[in-house]
């Protein structure tokens, strides 16, 4: 079972921050790090899960209605009087550059199913190619047409289609979105393993996150593997890698 850090080490540290990514990058045996991108008002790729800034920062409103400078002025509370900023995708890739060269994979989730950001696919592919790290990237989205566009821009891109149920992921994949992997919710395995054929199945663990608290669920990785899951995105990857 391959282990990924979901928004970095996001159970103990504020999700999608340089702190959470840095902590994840230091984990021995980690396959990769998952992160989420939106576009700012001035077209910059920023790393944040929600379409709005309200949940994770001291600000309000949609990401798309704030310039990068305005987003940088918001605070993400890390506790003990420490604060972090919303970061750009470029800043994250620069932080992780050495670990990427050493084999760390990055899953970039395009958050464009609610807001179809114009030009998002072109921007992210250009950024990845400028750094020469295209073989280390997995792109994912709930929006099948976005994956189709990514495939047209880069026919070698590794793509994963997201949905809550694995059956819905498979339906989208067979519709021709170009994905080679299924990315369902870990409790959404509603098909027998045989139906999944040889597809890679990367399941995500949900739940909100920081500040540190018990998740209430201890995942049985052996049982998940028996369902056909090959990879898991975890909020607390450190707990599973040390076992």
Active-site residue set: 6, 49
Burial class (CB within 10 angstroms; exposed 0-12, middle 13-18, buried 19+) of 107: buried
CB 100 within 8 A of CB 136: yes
Closest CA to 181 of 201, 157, 154: 201
Termini Cα distance of the chain: 13
Q: Angle at CA 230, nearest 5°, toward 11 and 170? A: 105
* Chain CA centroid to CA 148, Å: 18
CA distances from 211 to 50, 110, 139, 180, 203 (A): 17, 25, 28, 35, 23
Q: Which two tokens stand for residue 48?
A: 């944040």
CB 56 within 8 A of CB 76: yes
């Amino acid at each position: 079972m391959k282990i990924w850090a979901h928004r970095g080490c996001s159970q103990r540290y504020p999700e999608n921050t340089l702190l959470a990514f840095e902590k994840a990058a230091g984990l021995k045996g980690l396959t990769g790090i998952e992160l989420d991108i939106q576009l700012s008002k001035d077209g910059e790729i920023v790393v944040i899960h929600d379409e709005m800034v309200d949940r994770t920062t001291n600000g309000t409103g949609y990401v798309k209605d704030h310039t990068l400078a305005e987003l940088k002025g918001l605070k993400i509370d890390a506790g003990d009087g420490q604060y972090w900023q919303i970061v750009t995708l470029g800043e994250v890739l620069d932080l992780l550059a050495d670990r990427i060269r050493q084999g760390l994979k990055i899953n970039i989730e395009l958050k464009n199913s609610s807001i179809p950001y114009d030009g998002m696919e072109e921007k992210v592919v250009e950024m990845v190619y400028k750094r020469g790290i295209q073989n280390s990237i997995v792109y994912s989205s709930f929006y099948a047409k976005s994956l189709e566009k990514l495939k047209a821009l880069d026919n070698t891109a590794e793509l994963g289609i997201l949905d809550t149920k694995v059956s819905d992921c498979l339906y989208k994949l067979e519709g021709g979105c170009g994905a080679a992997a299924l990315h369902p919710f870990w409790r959404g395995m509603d098909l027998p393993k045989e139906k999944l054929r040889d597809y890679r199945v990367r399941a995500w663990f949900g739940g909100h996150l920081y500040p540190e608290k018990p998740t209430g669920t201890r995942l049985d990785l052996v049982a998940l593997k028996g369902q056909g899951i090959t990879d898991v995105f975890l909020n607390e990857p450190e707990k599973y890698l040390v076992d």
